[in-house]
A and B are shown apart, each in its own frame.
Chain A
Amino acid sequence: MAESKLVVGFIIAIIVAGMAAWYAGSQTAAPPTSAKLPPSVTTMTTTVTETVGAGATVTTTITVTETPATTGAPPAWTPPKKIRVAWVYVGPIGDFGWTYQHDVGRRVVQAIFKDWLETTYVESVSEAKLKEVVETLIAKGYNVIFTTSFEFMDGTLEEAKKHPDLLFFHCSGYKRWKNMGTYFADLVQVYYLNGLMAGALTKTGHIGYVAAFTIPEVVRHINAFAIGAKEVGEQLGKDIKVYVIEIGAWFAPDKAREAARTLVERYNCDVLAYTEDSTAIIQFAQTWTQQHPDHPVYVFSHYSPGYAYGPDVVVSGQLVRWEVIYADILSKIHAGILTPYNLDKLDYWYLLDSGAVDLACHVYPDGSIMHINPKFVPVLKNIKIKDKVTGSETNVYDLVMSRYYQMKDAPMLTPLEAVEPHKYENLTVINIAEESGKEEKYMIASFHVFTGPLDGYMKDDPSKKVHIPEGVVLGHDELWTMQWFVDWVVYLGRG
């Protein structure tokens, strides 16, 4: 049969061609650097530090750090002339949430550093395809890879170990290697500011939160939001409760909309915040408010500027500006500061003072941002309260802006982060007097959201109580692993 011979011949030809290409590919994929690698940097030590949290609490923090064995001085490394950077996104860039905002960051650095930077991205990559995609990018000569989803952590680490002279950065994870750093822009402070406004605007005292997953990141955001809401709501005589529904997906407009509807209809919530990467909840609140003008539902936009989707209901929101982090990392690679030998200590945790996150719900055509929807500014200005820190009379708008600047005006924190991650974050005031016994105060940061006293319960076992004593400030490690809710959060479970 001529036909079957042809088929067999075709198969053989393809296998031969494939093998040849594989061989050729593995030859040409050799990275463009003059550096020689240390011979055996493969052993991995796993340090498990267990610390009991603030005071006599049951908060248990487990920090897992993987550190490659160091072998003397790192080899000399020359940064590539042309830095070719690729982003691997978990969602579509059109999600108008997480991935959209990362891609804005990519486009910003591309425009600024066009002389020596070339960027690309691959969107909608599933965990099951990550390593193939990264291998493809490397084969095409990309030498810096950003992977922007927690579930890419282990795959990114494997690729980093396999390609020791390329640079990898993983967003939101905790595993690092000598050529793999981690970074995150955190929204605790912004959620707290949103909470202040939520506590002022709610009539029922019931506030809803639609959570993608109750991972520590989202748990601390829920708590920060609840702390803000209670700070204002309590003064106005409201019994603040924050109802949480977990939908089990980062991008699920239908589930998010239904969860929001449940919170409004069944739990009488009239202010919503959320962690989900679509505009579904904003659109739901806008439609609901048009249909029920006597019972408006207000909402805080998440990640991307959502004002345009609900101009009557979006009060404010959280905006992330990844370009601040990307510009920092890429310029340091270009300058030869970050190399494939020193990333195991790189763990950016960028807060309000860095500019990587902001209180905003809209970007105006000129590029400037809207902190608070102008429609709500007079409303918030008319609600009189006291600042619990200073005791002075103020209004909600002024309180929000005063807290905003208290947290934003901490210009030392971000540069200190590069010295040693998380070491200096909780500094508030230091004494710079050189004579003993004297005191000369220098203010580093003047407000921390998670300051005791705080009482809560473990998410997985509500019978276990958590108590943070007065004056204790929770730091990065406690926030990073947070698995407890403050008492006035009601976790309704997975929707």
Chain B
Amino acid sequence: MRLVLVKRVKPLPLGGLVIPGASIVIGILISTVVLYVISRADPLVTLSCVASALVSPEIVLTFLFLTILGVALLVAFNGSIWNIGAEGQLWLGTAAATYIALFTTLPQAPVVAKVAMVLTAMALGGAWAAVAGVLRAYLSIDEVPVTLIMNYIAYYIINYLVRGPWLGKKTWGYIRTDMIPDQVKFTLLPGSTTVTYEVLVIAVLALIAVYFMLKYTSLGLRIRILGSNPDALKAAGVNVKALIITALTLSGAIAGAMGAAQLAGYLHRISYPIESHTANYGYTAILVAWLSMLDIRAVPVAAYIVSALYQAGISMQIAGISSASATYVFIGAVLLTFTVLRVFSEYSLRIIRG
């Protein structure tokens, strides 16, 4: 008697809803058990922390950031191009926006400067991702390690800038840039200290633009076919190399826009070293992209769930029942469950006798 996995002719019906939903529920339950076993965290308190995080207004900024980055990743992921480099792309976006805000005369015209900050951030984030695109398209170098390694190169480039030419004049010996001028800071929503109008606009625009791009344009169609049947594209005479580079560039550009929003809407300056000041949104967004099952309409849902799980980790610390690592237990358990369930949506388990 043996067990075999057989690919289903069709994936399970409603898999796009059931699998992420089930993996979140099961992941949370597994986390509850794990946290109880490890640190005797009362399961009821754990679950109440998760429940309160789901309706917590503090998650809005993280939700918006993860939505933008999730959308960015989907552009590439839909073409089976695995951009692991949103982290580096967004930080270079932050750096580009910093340059505009601190070292050009544009801030004298605030609106122009804000637009320029976002556009330059998109250009640099896109260019950074395009490097991996060129390597993949022309040299067939796997983009996964390339984009991952380039995150650290991006960190160190910015570290170099902040320690050297960009070092602020009013930093009291700390290694950081000066604050960007007040007039180019994004405008906070009334009653919030974190969410700005501009970041809201960027998130909505990114979501809508990419939705229409993927669904209604030939570029979107090609990217989706690139993910399922690249040979068909070649046979149809499509320039696949250019398509790969385009998809990665767009992906990096959107991540770069989020980087500009992070600077102008929240951080207002860059502190050295990046690797210990980042919130790692670029990596968290990979989970968001997966949980969305690469369906852009589900990206906000996934971003909402993931940001709530982060918030639950903080709530558990405040409740005194776990350390900072509780967050990673949640995220890890959900991702693991998701991976397992996905296998079963496409494969069925059969027992063969004899």
Contacts and interface: CB of A to CB of B under 8 A. Distances in A.
B57 interface: yes
B314 A249 contact: no
B173 A216 contact: yes
Interface residues of B, number: 48
B267 A135 contact: no
Interface stretch (B107-115, B129-137, B235-243, B271-279): B271-279
A136 B194 contact: no
Contact of A483 (B173, B266, B271): B173
Nearest to A162: B193
Contacts of B320: 120
Interface in B274-330: 276-279, 295, 297-298, 300-301, 304, 311, 314-315, 317-320, 323-324
Interface-central residue, A6, A21, A459, by most chain B CB under 10 Å? A21
A129 interface: yes
A139 interface: yes
A140 B318 contact: yes
B14 interface: yes
Contact of B172 (A135, A137, A140, A215): A215
Interface string B166-204: 000000111110010000000000010110000000000
A74 interface: no
A133 interface: yes
A151 interface: yes
A14 B319 contact: no
A22 B60 contact: yes
Nearest to A118: B320
Nearest to A7: B297
B273 A249 contact: yes
A131 B193 contact: yes
B319 A120 contact: yes
A127 B324 contact: no
Contact of A135 (B58, B174, B176, B295): B58
B194 A135 contact: yes
A26 B317 contact: no
Contacts of A158: 193
B342 interface: no
Interface string B3-29: 000000000001011000000000000
Contacts of B193: 131, 135, 158-159, 162
B262 interface: yes
Given A7-B297, A151-B271, A133 B314 contact: yes
A14 B304 contact: yes
Interface residues of A, number: 56
Contacts of A154: 179, 268
A10 B60 CA distance: 17
Contact of B56 (A3, A136, A251): A136
A449 interface: no
Contacts of A483: 173
Given A7-B297, A131-B266, A136 B314 contact: yes
Nearest to B304: A14
B311 A136 contact: yes
A127 B267 contact: yes
A203 B277 CA distance: 40
Interface-central residue, B57, B273, B311, by most chain A CB under 10 Å? B57
A17 interface: yes
Contacts of A248: 163, 175, 272-273
B61 interface: yes
B62 interface: yes
Contacts of B17: 3, 6-7
Contact of B324 (A11, A92, A135): A92
A132 B58 contact: yes
Nearest to B179: A154
A128 B266 contact: yes
Contacts of B38: none
Nearest to B323: A123
Given A126-B277, A128-B262, A213-B174, A18 B318 contact: no
B55 interface: yes
Nearest to A29: B57
Contact of A131 (B55, B172, B194, B301): B194
A124 interface: yes
Contacts of B163: 248, 494
Given A120-B319, A140-B318, A127 B277 contact: yes
A25 interface: yes
Contacts of B60: 18, 22
Contacts of B300: 11, 14
A139 B57 contact: yes
A122 interface: yes
Interface string A473-489: 00000000101000000
Interface in A1-15: 3-4, 6-8, 10-11, 14
Given A128-B278, A248-B272, 9 more contacts: A10-B301, A20-B55, A25-B55, A92-B323, A122-B318, A132-B61, A135-B57, A215-B172, A494-B163
5 contacts: A3-B16, A3-B17, A132-B58, A139-B57, A151-B174
Nearest first, the 5 closest Cβ-Cβ pairs linking A and B are: A21-B55, A215-B173, A128-B279, A22-B57, A124-B324
Interface of A: 3-4, 6-8, 10-11, 14, 17-18, 20-22, 24-26, 86, 92-93, 120-124, 126-129, 131-133, 135-137, 139-140, 142, 150-151, 154, 158-159, 162, 213-216, 218-219, 248-249, 251, 459, 481, 483, 494
